[in-house]
Each structure stands twice: as C-alpha cells, then as structure tokens.
Amino acid sequence: MKKIVFATIPMQEQEGEGWDSDGYVYKCNDNKNIEYDKKVRFAINGFLAKTLLKGDDVKIVQILVNNDKSEHNAEIQKTELERLNENIGAKIDFKKIVTDFDDSGRTIEKRFQELIGELEEESEIFLDMTFGSKTLVPVLFYVLGFAEKFFDADIKNILYDKIEFKRLDNGKSVPKPDTCEIYDVTPLFYLNSLTSVMEAPDGKTALERLNKFLAL
C-alpha cells in the first residue's frame, strides 16, 4: 500500500549558533511507538525511521513557501531522510508543493488543489503539521477528509512537534534540547469527522451524545 507523507517545512533558519547540527531527540510521553531515540533535524524523519519497512513505497510531499530558507530546509529534510533510509531500504520519492507566503483566498484554494492532486487511491496517509501558516492546518485537515471520503485513504498519524527556546546574550533565540517533544494528534481528525456525521435534534442532545462517545 502506498504511503503518502505530507511534511510541512519551516521557513525560518534552523541552524547556526545555538543549534545542534545533529538535531535533537524528540520524546513522546503518551505514545512510545512514535518516539525515536536518536537525534534528528526533523522529528517526522525520526518517526519514519522508526516505522518504515524495507520495500515500502513512500511519497513525501514537502509543503513550503517560496523563499530561500524554506527551500534550504526542504533539502535538509530530504537529505536526512535519505541517509536514515540507507538502513531501511524503503522506496522514497519527494514532491514539493510551493506557494507564496500569502493567505489570500486564491492562495488557499491553490494550495488545497495542489495537495489533493497528490492523493492516490487506498493509500496510508501521514501528516506532520508542525510548520506553516495558520491557515495551512485547516487546509490540511480538509485534504485528509477529502482523501478519506473519496480516495478510501487510511489516515494513520497526524504529528506535531515542539521545542522551547531560550534567549542568548546577543538576543538570539535558540532551542532548549531537553524540551523537544513529538505528539500524535490524530484524534483531532477523527473528532472532527465524528461531529460532522453526528445527528441530534438540538445542541443539548448533541453534547450528551458526544460526551457519552468520548467516555467509551
């Protein structure tokens, strides 16, 4: 089965003074299945290094804005994953979706159209929603909903990672290595799906039914 990974790419510098050139270890307290115990520059790469198998057919859809730093970071993510894959043996292809750093209606529509254009029938889909503009996350959720409804896709993992920063004497903000975490936020997608299909005669009944479901 084809695996499609939507990977958001940062548009800010991710290296230099105060940054570990080997990356960081991203911990996960509530789902050890997604925790990778080695340093990586991109948390999604650690997740893939842990979960991919030899022979897996994988498409990495890199989502970035049209600037030099974003392009550079996309190359870092690609190079690191290719290095990790040397010990795995998956078949990995990369595709870039590049749009301007602009949240106008036309740009949002263009982004959505290009993203759904990368869907394939009956694929497994993974998403790293860490980076990007504020409008990108809802667009990505619409893409996942479209994939599940019309392409019979299996939404496997939606990931988000965070790092806390500290300020150096020169005013520059750099990562605090012991704060790196990765989260599996897939329930957000299924919660949205649930509320979309749930029926109730009024708001009170809807709340009661939702609370009963969440208590299961």
Q: What is the pLDDT of residue 3?
A: 98
Report the distance separating Cα 1 and Cα 27, nearest Å: 28
pLDDT at site 168: 83
161 with 130: CB under 8 angstroms? yes
**C-alpha distances in angstroms, 37 versus 53, 178, 188?**
17, 13, 26
Task: Per residue of the chain (216 residues), give pLDDT as tens.
Answer: 899 999 999 998 888 888 999 999 999 988 888 999 999 999 999 999 999 999 999 999 999 999 999 999 999 999 999 999 999 999 999 999 998 888 888 889 999 999 999 999 999 999 999 998 889 999 999 999 999 999 999 999 999 999 999 888 887 888 998 999 999 999 888 887 777 777 888 888 878 877 877 776
Distance CA 38, CA 26 (A): 8
Which residue in the block uniquely carries the two structure tokens 């990977």?
7
pLDDT of residue 216: 66
166: enclosing H helix or E strand: strand 165-167
Q: What is the pLDDT of residue 169?
A: 80
CA atoms within 13 A on the CB side of 10: 15
**Contact partners, residue 67, CB within 8 Å, separation at least 6:** 11, 101
H or E element, residue 31: none
Where do the domains of the chain lie, and which CATH numbers do they carry? 3-184 (3.40.50)
**How confident is the model over 63-109, as pLDDT tens digits?**
999 999 999 999 999 999 999 999 999 999 999 999 888 888 888 99
Residue 136 CA to residue 122 CA, distance in Å, equals 24
Contact 49, 43 (CB under 8 A): no
Q: pTM for the complete prediction?
A: 0.91
